[in-house]
Each structure stands twice: as structure tokens, then as C-alpha cells.
Structure 1
Amino acid sequence: MTKTLHIVGGGMAGSEAAWQAAQAGVRVVIHEMRPKVETFAHRTGNLAEMVCSNSFRSDDNEQNAVGLLHWEMRQAGGIIMDTAYRHRLPAGGALAVDRDPFSEDVTAALKALPNVSVSYEEVTELPDQDHWIFATGPLTSPALGAAIRAETGAEALAFFDAIAPIVYFDSVNMDVAWMQSRYDKGETEEERTAYLNCPMTKDQYEAFIDALLAADKTEFHEGETAGYFDGCLPIEVMAERGRETLRFGPMKPIGLTNANDPTNKPYAVVQLRRDNALGTLYNIVGFQTKMKYGAQTAVFRMIPGLEDAQFARLGGIHRNTFINSPTLLDDQMRLKSRPNIRFAGQITGVEGYVESAAMGLLAGRLAAAELQGRAVPSVPDTTATGALVTHITGGADAKTFQPMNVNFGLFPPVDGLKSGRRGRKDRYKAYTDRAKVDWRGWLDAQG
């Protein structure tokens, strides 16, 4: 009798895991509770729905670790990256996508496979039988979260994620705002004008910071002590760290020239990135927030060019749960106390769409091989995928374990290279060159 792989969660990790296992010939059931059971952030019942940013971040596979991860996933036939490229939007050097067609395409592709089915119900327990991958992501349901905590014998770690607002383009004042990618980056005119920029004078910036700090915000409930992931801090939390923090972060003015007033250098700039192929929606880059809705509208309309902005979606905040993977998972991503269960995606303590999908890709391949009685060599830790899984399954200090984006600090050093800023470009290129050779070798070893 053909064995079945059950995958709980139809987000980036679950979708990628299902695709990889199905391509290997395994029968797969995806268990997705949406739309029957809704979440704070999701809007549809589609698989691989993007709930926060529409960006997969940098696509540079020679100087950027996440760009290298893009490359590795495409080499492995990953559905998430391949679909992202088909729905790519101009975003300078970033890989941004038209989010609704992207998720619709992933959903259709998976449902079209004869050995994949989708079951729309909530899974609330950790099964003792069969092979399972839990890829429930940051919005793991309370019932399943309780089951995971009961099994692991400790409270799951948690932090808070915030999402940024989305603005209708036709409500932006283009007499004030202008289109330009930072440093005019991009090979085409469309790429060089991929971002919408709103300039601020020093007085406008100071008034904006004052309003941001004074605005009504969503507060933690009693007993909630989770912190924030540094890669997705609410904008008001950044502002609390110092009045100039935003001007050296998401509001930095460098590399931009105001087309409406080229002789005056902006003191700060708010950037918006296209959120759909039609160019009718733009999300405010780096402006994830925990401000209450009324406060958001008032504060964000202080931004020059957004005085009459209409919002397709306001920002918000949600709880993100993850497990202490270095303690709980083996090097095959299996739960040590229940080896029939693997974990993948953000619940393992990786952060970001790309990292989540990459862990889904690996978990799907490992589970398929186990079901088919095949041995899969360990992923070299010199690759982006290998560095990330090594980190979460033992490389990180379990006592201080926190969500992590892929970065070159996770990679073993390359001998004979300069350290420090001067040697960084050559060092990163050496990392990516080595990773590509080793990743191809790992894929070839699987036939």
C-alpha cells in the first residue's frame, strides 16, 4: 500500500514541501484550516498566501545570502521561487511579486497534481501514526500550539510580527512624490523607477516622529511577554530607539533625487513598493506598525504626498510562535520525541518567506526519501540551505535561540580571504561560488 505524507499548513513551507514530495512520487495530503478557520492576517483560502510584505527580498545570488537561497531553490525545482519569477514586479534588486496571482498559481499547480489533495480542516493534535510535516507558520492555531507545548514539555517561544499598510496609487499626490529606485538601480527604466518616494523636510520629519510616538497603539495583553523580531520591528518601536533611527533605516534619503525639486535634498524619504502587477496598490516599505487604525490614518497622512491617501489595508500586529528547534529537532528536522513528525517553516525559528519555503523544500525531500527507503546525504553547511538548517538543528545556542534570517554569518569561513569591510565583496562572492558547487553536488547525489 502506498504511504502518504501529511503536511499541516498550506503556507510557503507547506506548499513547497508538498511540491517536492509529490515530484518525488509520494502521495501527499495538505491539511489547511483556511478558509474554514480564519486567521488575523489571511484574506483567502489560497495556498502560499502572502500576508505581510510582497517581497522575497534581494535576488542577488553573488553578494546576498537570501539571493543565494533563491538560486538554490530554483535549482531544486522549487515551486515558490519559480512561481515568484512568473509574477515578478519591478522592485530594483528585490524579488517582489503580484501577491494574489502568485498564490492562485501555486494553489492551482498543487491541486493539478494527481498525487496531491487538500483537506480543509484544523489539525489539533500531534499524530502517533504515519509521516507528518507541521508547517503551520507564525499563526499556529491555539489548539495545535497547546498540543505542541504539551509534547515538548516547555512553553514555545514567541515574538510579535507586524504588517505594513497598503495604499491605492491613485490617491498619492504625484506633484509631491516621484518614482525612483535607490541609486537608480535596475537594468530597465521600469526597474529604475520601481519605488514611489515621498520626501520630508527636517521639520516634517520631526513632526512625524512626534505623532508616531504619541499615537494610540495596540498593547500586549497581560501575561504576553514576547518581543519583536528585529527584521520586522514596528516603525514606532524603531522610533522609540532614537529620533534619528528611522532616518538611517527605512526613511533614509541616500541615493534618491527628488524629481519634483532636484536642487533640494530631502531630509528623509518614505518609500512605497508596488504590490500588484496593475500598479494600483503600493505598500509602505518598512512601515509595519502596531498603531490602532484611526491613528494610522492620521499619522500616515502626515507624509508628504499621502495627505489624501486611501488605504487598501491598514497595518497590524500578530503573535508568531516558534519552537526551540536546536533542542527539539534532529538533523533530519524530525521531532526527537516523535520521529514520525517533522517541522518546517517559521515555526522552526527561521524568519522570512524565503527561509520558510527553503525549510519546506528540505523537509519535503527528506520525508519523501524516508518514505521511499532512500538515503539523502546531509546538506552541506557551505550552502545557504545547509547553513540555515544546521543553525536551527544544533548550530544555534538553545538558551538564546531566536528567529533568524539566512546570512553569511551562518556559513563556515572560506580560508585565505580578508576579513572586515574591505574584503567583504570578495568574501561573499567566495561564499556563493562555493555554495553553488556544493548545492549542485548535493542535488546530483540524489539522482
Structure 2
Amino acid sequence: MTQVLHIVGGGMAGSEAAWQAAEMGVDVIIHEMRPTVGTFAHQTGNLAEMVCSNSFRSDDDEQNAVGLLHWEMRAANGLIMTTADAHRLPAGGALAVDRDPFAETVTAKLRAHPRVSVTDQEVTSLPDEGHWIFATGPLTSPALGEAIRAETGSDALAFFDAIAPIVYADSIDMSKAWMQSRYDKGETEEERTAYLNCPMDRDQYEALIDALLAAEKTEFHEGETAGYFDACLPIEVMAERGRETLRHGPMKPVGLTNPHAPDVKPHAVVQLRRDNALGTLFNIVGFQTKMKYGAQTDVFRMIPGLENASFARLGGIHRNTFINSPTLLDAQMRLKSKPNIRFAGQITGVEGYVESAAMGLLAGRMAAAEILGRDLPEVPKDSAMGALIHHITGGAEAKTFQPMNVNFGLFRPVDGLKGGRRGRKDRYKAYTDRAKTEWQTWLDQC
């Protein structure tokens, strides 16, 4: 009898897991409750819908850990990365994608695959039999969340995730704003002008900080506390940490020259990144927020160039749940108490589109190998994939476990390299060279 792999959740991790398993010859059913059951953040029933940023972050595979993860996923015929490449938008050294065509293409490819079927059935329990991957992401349905908590015997951890607003390009005043990537980074003119910049003088910046601090915010329900992931802090929370925090974060004025006033150095700069291929939509970089809608429009229109901004989507905030993977999962990403079930994606405590898809890639391959009666070699710890899965399945301290992006701090040191600022470039290159060799060897053995 043919054994089927059931995948719950059709986001980045679930889509990648389905693709990898199907390509290995396993029949897959994706259980994606959307559009029958919606969520706060999703707008469609498409698989791999991007609900926050449209960026996969740095694509530098020699000096950046997430860029290395891009490389490893491409080498493994990753659906998410190949589709992202096909719908790439200019973004300097980052990999940004046209979100709607990206999701539509992922959906079409999976629905067309002869070994993949998709159902909008909502799964609300953890089955005792069969092969399952749960990749329900940060917006796991309440019923399933309760089932997970009941099985694990502890409360799911949680933090609050915020979404940045999107602005219509034709409502931006280009007599004040200009197009330029920081330090003119990029190989083409389009890449070197990938970001839209709005300059602020000191008085404008200080007024914005005052407005952010005073704006009406979304209130949490009784008993909830806001444990934010540091890489996705609401803009007003950053402002609360100090009046200069934003000038040293998303609003830093370095690497940019205002062509409208080339001799005047801005005190701060708000950047917007293209959100679609047409260039009609731009998201405000780093401006994820928990401000109420009315406050958002008032505050963001204080930014020079955005005085008459029209918003395609305002920011928002939602609860993001994840499991304590170091205590609950084994090295094969299986739930120790129910080894017929694997977890993948953000619910395991990785953060970001790329990291989620990467864990889906591994979970899909591991589950398929188990169904086919094949033994996969251990994922090499010196690869980006290996560093990340090792972190969530035992490398992290369980008592303080929090969502984590891939970073070189998760990698084992490279012998013979000196530390310090001067040696950082060589050290990162050594990490990536070692990782690529280890990862390619692993792929050849699979």
C-alpha cells in the first residue's frame, strides 16, 4: 500500500517540504485551511503567500549566513528559491520578490505536480498514525494550537510579530524623495536605485519620534505580554528604547546622497523598498508597527515625501506561536512523543521566510526518506542548514529558547583563523567555503 505524506500548512515550509518529498517520489497531500478558514494576515488562498516583508534578505553567499542558506537551497533544487529568483525585484544586494506572482507560481507548480494534491481541510488534532509534517507557521489555528499544547504538556511560547505598511508609489512626492540603494550597492543601475529615500532634518526626526511615542497603540488581551523578536520590532518600540535608536537602525542616514540637496546631509532617512514588479507599491523598510490605523496615517504622513501618501495596506500586529523545539523534537525533527509527526518552519523556532523554507526542505526530505526506507546521512553541522537544525533540535538552551535567524554565531569556529574586526571577511568566507563543500557532499550522498 502506498504511504502518503500529509503536510499541514501551505506556507514557505509546507510548500518546500511538499516539493522535496514529491520530487523524491512520495505522494503528498497538503492540508491548507485557507481560503476556507482565513487568518489575520493572509489575503488569499495561495500557497507560500508572503504576509510581511517581500524580502528574503541578503543574497551574498560569501559574507552573509542567509545568503549562504539561499545557495544551499538552490543547490537542493529548492522550489522557494528558484521561484524567488524568477520573480526577483531590484533591491541592491538583497533578494526581494514580487509577492503575488511568486505565490501564484509556487501554487501552480505544486498543484501541477503529479504527486501533490491540495485540500482546504482544517486539521485540528495530532494524528496517531501516518506520516505527517506540521508546518502551520506563526498563525497556527487556535484548535490546533490547543492540541499541540495538550500533547507537549506545556504552554506554547509566543511573541508578537508586526507588519509594515505598503504605500502606493504614485502618492509619493518625488520632489522630496529619490531613488538610491545604500552606498549605490548593486551591479546594475536598477539595483543601485532599488530603494526610495525620504530625508529628514533634525526637527522633522524629533517630531516623528514624539509622534511615535504618543500614538495610540494596539492593546494586548488580558494576561498577554509582548515578547517581540528583536529583528522585527515595531517602530514605536524601537523609539521607546531611545531617541537615537532609529537613526542607528532603519533610519540611518549613511551611504546616501540626496540629489535635491547634495550638500545637505540628512539627519535621518526613511527607506521604502519596491514591493511589486510594476513598481506601483513600496513597503516602508523597518516600519512594522502596532499603532492603530488612524494613528498610522497621521504619523507616517509626517515623513517628507509621504505627506499625501495613500496606503495599500497599513501595518498590524499578530500573535506568533512556536514550540520549544530543543526539548520536543529529535534530530530528525520528529515529535518525541509522537514520532510519526514532524514539525517544520516558523513553529519550530526559526525566524524568517528563508529559514522556514529551509527547515521545510529538510523535513520533506527526511520524511520522504523514511517512507521510502532510505537512510539519509546526518545533515552536516558546518552547513547553514546543519547549523540551523542543530540549533533548534538541541543546540539552543531550552530555558531561554527564542526564534532565531540563521547567523554565523551558530557555526562552529574555523580552525586557524584569527578573530577580530579585521579578520571578519576572511572568517565569513571560510565559513561559507566550508559549508558549500559539506552541503554539496551531503546532497551527492542523498
* TM superposition score normalised by structure 1: 1.00
Partner residue of 1:130? 130
Partner residue of 1:59? 59
Residue 207 in 1 paired to residue 202 in 2? no
Give the length in aligned residue pairs. 446
Partner residue of 2:228? 228
Residue 278 in 1 paired to residue 278 in 2? yes
Measure the CA separation in 2 of the matches of 1:8 and 1:155: 21
1:422, distance to aligned residue in structure 2 (A): 1.2
Measure the CA separation in 2 of the matches of 1:246 and 1:113: 46
Partner residue of 1:379? 379
Residue 398 in 1 paired to residue 398 in 2? yes
Measure the CA separation in 2 of the matches of 1:184 and 1:356: 30
Measure the CA separation in 2 of the matches of 1:211 and 1:290: 14
Partner residue of 1:389? 389
Partner residue of 2:175? 175
Aligned partner letter, 1:410: L
Measure the CA separation in 2 of the matches of 1:292 and 1:421: 42
Q: Determine helix, strand or coil for the equivalent of 1:228.
A: coil
Q: Deviations over 1:116-145 (max 9, x none)?
A: 000102100000010000000000000000
Measure the CA separation in 2 of the matches of 1:57 and 1:104: 21
RMSD between superposed Cα atoms in Å: 0.4
Q: Runs ≥4 in structure 1, deviation > 2 angstroms? A: none
Partner residue of 1:363? 363
1:226, distance to aligned residue in structure 2 (A): 4.1
Matches within 5 A, 1:345-360: 345-360=345-360
Measure the CA separation in 2 of the matches of 1:369 and 1:93: 36
1:318, distance to aligned residue in structure 2 (A): 0.4
Aligned partner letter, 2:82: D
Partner residue of 2:319? 319
1:220, distance to aligned residue in structure 2 (A): 1.1
Partner residue of 1:421? 421
1:259, distance to aligned residue in structure 2 (A): 1.0
Measure the CA separation in 1 of the matches of 2:351 and 2:140: 15
Aligned partner letter, 2:78: G
Measure the CA separation in 2 of the matches of 1:421 and 1:223: 44
Residue 295 in 1 paired to residue 295 in 2? yes
Measure the CA separation in 1 of the matches of 2:226 and 2:185: 37
Aligned partner letter, 1:63: Q
1:225, distance to aligned residue in structure 2 (A): 2.0
Structure 1 residue ranges without an equivalent (≥5) = none
Measure the CA separation in 2 of the matches of 1:301 and 1:191: 27
1:421, distance to aligned residue in structure 2 (A): 1.2
Q: Deviations over 1:128-187 (max 9, x none)?
A: 010000000000000000000000000010000000000000000000000000000001
Measure the CA separation in 2 of the matches of 1:379 and 1:401: 22
Q: Residues 355, 36 of structure 1: CA spacing in aligned structure 2 closer, same or farther, 3 A cutoff?
A: same
Aligned partner letter, 1:158: A
Q: Determine helix, strand or coil for the equivalent of 1:282.
A: strand
Structure 2 residue ranges without an equivalent (≥5) = none
Partner residue of 1:10? 10
Measure the CA separation in 1 of the matches of 2:201 and 2:367: 55
Aligned partner letter, 1:28: V
Aligned partner letter, 2:330: D
Q: Determine helix, strand or coil for the equivalent of 1:219.
A: coil
Matches within 5 A, 1:19-168: 19-168=19-168
* TM superposition score normalised by structure 2: 1.00
